[in-house]
Amino acid sequence: MKDKLGLYYYPNPLNRDFRMYVCEMEGETCFRMWSAEDSKLWEDHDWVPYGAIKKATEMYEGQAIDPKQAYDIEIARALLKEAKKAGSHR
């Protein structure tokens, strides 16, 4: 999906108040969170490269949100691929 902020998906399809945006920067897939419940989330957190996320997931010990679910690289790649085909991304 796409809106004025860019390409996004819902990490939890049952919660439409939380979105994960994706883009490609310098050849790397990057992620950025947005929440309807936390208006400052977008402002306070910049784009995060997948490499940094991957390192963080190695430390995940079952608290809160599973980063592998929230930061889904396969969904991100599919969105970026489709956007490139359509000629529009980020």
Q: Is the pLDDT of residue 89 over 80?
A: no
Mean pLDDT (the chain, rounded): 89
Decide if 43 contacts 53 (C-beta within 8 A).
no
Q: Is the pLDDT of residue 63 over 90?
A: no
Residue 37: its pLDDT value, please?
Answer: 95
Residue 88: its pLDDT value, please?
Answer: 57
pTM score, whole prediction: 0.86
Decide if 45 contacts 38 (C-beta within 8 A).
no
Domain that holds residue 10: 2-86
21-25, 59-63, 68-72: range with highest mean pLDDT: 21-25
Helix, coil or strand: residue 84: helix
**Total count of domains within the chain:** 1
* Two tokens, residue 84: 């490139």
Residue 16: its pLDDT value, please?
Answer: 95
Distance CA(37)–CA(48), nearest Å, equals 21
